[in-house]
Structure 1
Amino acid sequence: MNDEKLRAEALHNKVIPVHFDANFFFERAVQSLERNHYAKALKYFSKAVEYEPENPVNHCNMAGIMSEMGDYEGSNSVLVDIIKHIDPAMTECYFYMANNFANMENFEEAEKALVTYLEEDSEGQFLHEAEEMMELLMHELDRPAKLKRIKSRQGMIEHEQARALLEQGKFAQAVELLEEIVENYADFLAARNNLALAYYYVGLFGKAKETIHEVLEQDPGNLHGLCNLAIFYQHENDVSQLLPLLQLLTITVPFHQEHLFKLATTMGILGQHELAYQHFRRLLKDEELSDDPSVYHYTATAAFNCGRFIDAERYWRFASKLDPDSDVSRFYLSQLAQFREGTTEQPKINYHYHLPFEEQLKAWEHNGEGITDEVKHNPLVRSSFFWALRHGDHATKLQVIQSFAWIADEEVKRVLQAFLRDPKEDLQLKEAAVLVLEGLGIENPLMDSPEQEEIESETLVASELSNDLDQPSRTVVNKTLQMMDQSCDLDQQHDIQNLWTEFLHKSYPNTPELGHTEAWSAALEYWAIKMVGLPTTYQEVARRYGLSPSTVSRYARRMDSVCHMKDRNG
C-alpha cells in the first residue's frame, strides 16, 4: 500500500501545472484558427474574454470568428457590446457590423452602420472597402446614402500627396506637408502616424516619439501607434515600458492586411522572429501579396533569424524568381551559404528589402557609376541614408554626405541644410556637407547655422589649403593655378581649390602619394576645364605639362573615381 502511495506521489511530482490565463486560451485559439477549426477557436477566444473582459481585442477576435462561422447576429451583439461598454473609440466595429448586416441582406441597417463608421472614424483604415460597400448598398437600395461627411476624408487629398512623398523617399517634404495637415486637422490620426514615420525616417527620433504619444492619447488602441511606440522603447532600451506593450502585441491577431503587415514587421524589429514568421506566412496566403518578392524576403528573414534555415533558403529562392534583377536575394543566399559552411558567424539580417547600407556603398564605389535613378527613388534606401546620417558613426556619416552628391536632389539639400543647423554635429562633417551643397548650387549653405562663423572660418582655411594641408597638397594647387594663370578667373580659382580639397577629403584615409606634382596638377587642370564646359583632351593637357597622355589619363581617372567628375559633366 505504501509503494502505491509513493508511486502516486512520484507521478504527481512529474506533472507540470498549467497556468490558465487569457494568453493561454488566446494561443490555443490561434492554433485552432491555423487548422481552420473555427468552433474550437471561438471556444478559446470566449475563455480569453472571461479572463480579460476589459480587453477589446479578445472581444473583437470572437466577433470575427462568429462572422466567419455565419453567426452574423451573434457577431454584431459582441460588436455593439464593445462600443457601448468596453471601448467606444473602436469605430471600426461599425464597419464590421455593416459587413454582417450586408451578409444578412439587411441593407438598411448595413447602411446605417456604414454611415456611422464613415462619419465617426478619423483614421479611415477601411475607407476604400467602405466606399466599395457604399456603392453596393446604393445599388441595392436604389438611392444614395444619407451621408453628411466622411471624417477621415478631411485633409485626405493633402494626405495622399504626403503618402506619395513618403513612398518616393522625400521625407523632409513629407514632414512639411504632414505638419500642416495635423495642424489643420487635429484628429486626423493617419496623418499623425505618417508624420511620426517621416520624423523617424529623417532621424528625428524625439519628435517621432512625441507624435506617436499624441496619436495614442486620442486612440489608445491604435495598432500603428502601438507598434511604433514599441520600436521606440526598444531603441531607448526601455525594457520596463516595452514588456507590457510587447505582451499586448503578442496576443493581437489582426484580420486586416495592412495591420497584419505592420504587426509582422514590428515583431521582426523587436526580435520576436517566430511570431513575425507566422504573421508573414499568413500574408503570403493573401492573393494580393502572393507574387510580391519583398514579402517573401521578409518571410525568409524571419525564418533565418529564428533558425529555420531551410525555409529561409526556400523563400529567398522564391523572391529571386519573382525579382530576378534584384541583388537582394542573391546576396542573402550567399550569406546563408557562407554561414552553413562555417566561414562566417550567423549574420544579423534586418527586414528591409534592399542590400545593407555598407553593401550599397561598396557596390557604388566599385562600379564608379554613382547611384542609379531606381535606387535614388527607393524610399527604404533613402531612409537608410537619412538614418545613418543622424545615428551613424563619424565614418558612416562622412560616406553618406559624400553619397548625397550622387543623389543630388531637393530632398538632399534640405537634409544637409538641417544637418548644418544641428549644433551637436562635428565641424569636419559640416565642412564636407558645405562642399556638397556648394556643388549642388547652394550659394550660402551656412545660412542660419549656429556655428556659421566657425564653419566659414574652417571652410575658408580648407578651401585655401592652408594649415590643414601639407606642403605637397598646396604645391599641386599652386602649380595648377600657375599653369592656368592667363585663362583662370577668380571664381575658377576658387572652384579648383574646392575640387582639390574635396578630392583629398573623400580619399581619406587612403590619401594618395602626391610626389608627382605635375601629374596631379595636370589632372586637376583637366577637370577644372571640363567643369566650366570647355573642350579639352588628355593630349592637350599632357603637352602643356610635358607628360604623356596616359599619365594624365591615369591621374584624372583616380580623381574621377573619388569625385565622380564624369557625372557632373555628363
Structure 2
Amino acid sequence: MKGKLVRAEGHLANIIPIHLDASFFFERAVRSLDRNHVDKALKYFRKAVEYEPENPVNHCNMAGILSEKGDYEASNTILANVLEVVDPSMTECYFYMANNYANMDRFEEAEQALVSYLEEDTQGQFMTEAEEMMELLYYELDRPAKLNRIKSRKGVVEHDQARELLEEGKFAQAAELLEGMSSDYPDYLAARNNLALAYYYMGLFPKARETIDEVLEQEPGNLHALCNLAIFHQNENRADQVLLLIKKLRVIVPFQHEQVYKLATTMGILGQHDIAYSHFRRLLKDEETAADPALAHYAAVAAYNTERYDAAERLWHYVAKLDPGSEVSRYYLSSLEAVRQGEQDPEKLSYHYHLPFDEQFRQWENYGNGIPEEMKNDPLIRSSFFWALRHGDRSTKMQVIHALGMIGDYEVQQALQSFVEEPGEEQDLLEAAQAVLNDLKSAEHEERNAEMVRPLTAVTLKSIGKVQSPSEQPENRPVSHWQAVVDRALQMSEAKAELQQEMERLWTYYVSRVHPEVPGTKQIEGWAAGLEYLAAKNHNRPVTYQSIAERYGISASTVSKYAKQIHRVCNSNSPLI
C-alpha cells in the first residue's frame, strides 16, 4: 500500500499543471472560432468573462459571438451591461446594439442606440456605417432621426480628405492636412493613427513612432496604434518589444472588418503567418469582403509563407479571376511553380498587392521615360519607393531617384527635397537627387508659363486629364477620364433630360474648380455614382446611396464618399444628407 502511494506521487510529479485563467479560455475560444466551432467558442468566452469580469473586451467578444449566432437579444443584454456596469466609456457598444436591434426589425430602438453612439462617441470609428444605418432608419421610419449633435463629427471632413490622399499615395499632402487636424482636434485618434502611417510611408520613422506614442498615451488599447507600434518596433530591430506586442495582439479577435484586416496584415508583417492566415480566411468567408483581390492575395501570401502551397495556388487563381488585368497573380503563380519544381528557393513573401521591388524596376525600365498612370498613382508602389529612398542600399537609392524623376509630382519633389537635406548621405546620391529636383522644378515653371488661363466648359472638359483610350482610334485621339465619368453617369442613369443636364452642369463646375488637380483614373464608377446621387438630390428625387450602389456594383460608402467630395466643391453652403 505504501509503495503504491509512492508510485502515485512520483507519477503526479511529472504532470505539468494547467493554469486556468482568462487568457487560457480566450485562446481556446480563438481556436474554436478558427475551426468554425461557434458554440464552443461561446462557451470559452463565457469562462473568460467568469475569470476576468472587469475586462470589457471579454464581454464584447461574447456579445459578438451571440450576434453571429442570431441571438441578438442576448447580445444586447451583454452590451447594455458593459455600458452600465463594466466600462461606460465603451461607446461603440451603442453601435453594436443598434445593429442588433435593426436585425430584429426593432427600428425605433435601433435609432435610439444609434443616436446615443453618434452623440457620445468621440472617435467616430464606425461613422460611415452609422451614416448608412441612419439612411436605412430614415427609410424604415419615414422620418429623420432625432439627432442633436455628432460628437465625433469635428474634423471628419478633413479626415476623409486625408484618407483619400493616403489612398492616392499623396503622403506629404495627407501629412500636412493631418498635422493641422492633430492640433485642432487632439482627441481625434483616428487622424493621429493615419498621420503616423503617412510619416511611415514617407520613411519618417521617428516622427511616426512619436505620433503613435501620443495615441497610446491617450488610449492604451487602441488596436490600430498597437499594430502600427509593432511594425515600428520591428523596423527598429527591437525584438523584445515586438514579442511583447505579438503576445498582446495574438489574443485579440476583432469583429469589425477594418480591424480584422488591420490585425491580419500586421501579424503577417510580424512573421505570424499562421495567425494572419486565420484572420484572412475569416474575411474571405464574408460576402462583403470576399471579392477583394488584395485580400485574396494577402491570404495567398500567408498560405505560401506557411507552406500551404495548394491553398496558395487556389487563392492566386481566385485573385486572377477577381482582377484579370493584374500581373500580380500570374507572377506569383509562376514563382510558386518554380519552387515546386526545385528551380527556385522558397522565400518569405511580403504582404503587398504589387510585384516585388526588383520586378517593378525591370518593368519600369521597359517604359523608358514614360510610365503608365496606374503605376504612378499606386500608393503601395509609391510608398515602397519612398521607403527605399531612405533605407535602401546605394544602388537601390540611385534607381529610386531615377524612377521618382519619371513620376515628378508634388509628393516626389517633397521627398527629394527632404532627401537632399538629410545629413550623412553620399555625395553622388545627393547630386543626382538635386539634379532631378532641379529638372522637375524647371519643367513645372515652363509649364506654368505656357499654360493658358481660361474658364472650362463642357467642351474643354474633354481635354483635361487625357489618357489613351483602350480602343484607340487611328488618329490616336485621347479620351479624357473626366469625360468618361460623366459619360458613365449618363449611361447608367435612367434620368430624364433635366437630370442629365444637371449632372453635366455639376461635373463641369466641379472640374473647373479643382483643375489642374486631377485625381487618379481608377474610380470612374465611384465618381459617376456620386455624381448621379448628388444630381438627384438637387432635384429632390427619392434616392439612396444603397440604390445607386447596387446599380453600379459598388458599396454604399463609396457612393457617399464621392458624392460628398463633389458636394464640398459645388454646394459648400448646404448640407448633403
- Same-fold status (TM-score > 0.5): yes
Instruction: Determine the structure 1 residue equivalent to 2:464.
Output: none
The amino acid of 2:198's aligned partner reads: A
Instruction: Determine the structure 2 residue equivalent to 1:76.
Output: 76
State the 1:55 CA deviation: 2.9
Q: SS where residue 200 of structure 2 aligns?
A: helix
The amino acid of 1:177's aligned partner reads: L
Question: Is 1:259 aligned to residue 259 of structure 2?
Answer: yes
Instruction: Supply the distance in 2 between the matched residues of 1:304 and 1:102 (Cα, whole angstroms).
Output: 40
TM-score by length of 2: 0.71
On the 8 A contact 1:224/1:259 being kept in 2, the answer is yes
Query: What's the CA shift string for 1:92-136, capped at 9, x where partnerless?
Result: 111112233444555444333211211222332221222232234
Instruction: Determine the structure 2 residue equivalent to 1:344.
Output: 344
TM alignment of 1:121-520, pairs within 5 A: 121-368=121-368, 370-442=370-442
Moved more, 14-23 or 278-287: 14-23
State the 1:269 CA deviation: 0.6
The amino acid of 1:439's aligned partner reads: D
Instruction: Supply the distance in 2 between the matched residues of 1:188 and 1:398 (Cα, whole angstroms).
Output: 39
State the 1:147 CA deviation: 1.4
% identity of equivalent residues:
63
Instruction: Supply the distance in 1 between the matched residues of 2:139 and 2:377 (Cα, whole angstroms).
Output: 42
The amino acid of 2:246's aligned partner reads: L
On the 8 A contact 1:123/1:152 being kept in 2, the answer is yes
On the 8 A contact 2:30/2:251 being kept in 1, the answer is no
Instruction: Supply the distance in 2 between the matched residues of 1:328 and 1:102 (Cα, whole angstroms).
Output: 40
State the 1:35 CA deviation: 4.9
Moved more, 190-199 or 90-99: 90-99
State the 1:395 CA deviation: 1.6
Instruction: Supply the distance in 2 between the matched residues of 1:184 and 1:215 (Cα, whole angstroms).
Output: 15
Q: SS where residue 153 of structure 1 aligns?
A: coil
State the 1:314 CA deviation: 1.8
Q: SS where residue 64 of structure 1 aligns?
A: helix
Query: What's the CA shift string for 1:278-311, capped at 9, x where partnerless?
Result: 1111111121322222112101110111121221
State the 1:370 CA deviation: 4.3
Q: SS where residue 315 of structure 1 aligns?
A: helix
Change over 3 Å in CA distance of 1:418–1:88 after alignment to 2: farther
Change over 3 Å in CA distance of 1:35–1:423 after alignment to 2: closer
On the 8 A contact 2:165/2:171 being kept in 1, the answer is yes
Instruction: Supply the distance in 1 between the matched residues of 2:407 and 2:316 (Cα, whole angstroms).
Output: 29
TM-score by length of 1: 0.72
The amino acid of 1:409's aligned partner reads: D
Instruction: Supply the distance in 1 between the matched residues of 2:71 and 2:195 (Cα, whole angstroms).
Output: 40
Change over 3 Å in CA distance of 1:361–1:443 after alignment to 2: closer
On the 8 A contact 2:64/2:75 being kept in 1, the answer is yes
State the 1:36 CA deviation: 4.6
Change over 3 Å in CA distance of 1:54–1:234 after alignment to 2: farther
Query: What's the CA shift string for 1:519-551, capped at 9, x where partnerless?
Result: xxxxxxxxxxxxxxxxxxxxxxxxxxxxxxxxx
State the 1:337 CA deviation: 2.4
On the 8 A contact 1:193/1:225 being kept in 2, the answer is yes
Q: Quote the RMSD (CA, aligned, Å).
A: 2.6
Instruction: Supply the distance in 2 between the matched residues of 1:261 and 1:205 (Cα, whole angstroms).
Output: 22
State the 1:262 CA deviation: 0.5
On the 8 A contact 1:118/1:150 being kept in 2, the answer is yes
On the 8 A contact 1:182/1:188 being kept in 2, the answer is yes
Change over 3 Å in CA distance of 1:427–1:442 after alignment to 2: farther
Query: What's the CA shift string for 1:168-201, capped at 9, x where partnerless?
Result: 1111111111111222222222211111111100
State the 1:73 CA deviation: 4.2
State the 1:225 CA deviation: 1.1
The amino acid of 1:39's aligned partner reads: D
On the 8 A contact 1:335/1:347 being kept in 2, the answer is no
State the 1:376 CA deviation: 0.3
Change over 3 Å in CA distance of 1:33–1:409 after alignment to 2: same
On the 8 A contact 1:261/1:279 being kept in 2, the answer is yes
On the 8 A contact 1:122/1:189 being kept in 2, the answer is no
Instruction: Determine the structure 1 residue equivalent to 2:48.
Output: 48
Moved more, 82-91 or 352-361: 82-91
Q: Which runs of no fewer than 5 residues in structure 2 stay unpaired? A: 446-577
On the 8 A contact 2:34/2:278 being kept in 1, the answer is no
Change over 3 Å in CA distance of 1:30–1:164 after alignment to 2: same
Which structure has the greater CA radius of gyration?
A: 1
On the 8 A contact 1:89/1:219 being kept in 2, the answer is no
The amino acid of 1:246's aligned partner reads: I
Instruction: Determine the structure 1 residue equivalent to 2:499.
Output: none
Change over 3 Å in CA distance of 1:369–1:427 after alignment to 2: closer
Moved more, 56-65 or 11-20: 11-20
Instruction: Supply the distance in 2 between the matched residues of 1:140 and 1:363 (Cα, whole angstroms).
Output: 53
Q: Which runs of no fewer than 5 residues in structure 1 stay unpaired? A: 446-570
The amino acid of 1:350's aligned partner reads: S
On the 8 A contact 2:371/2:407 being kept in 1, the answer is yes
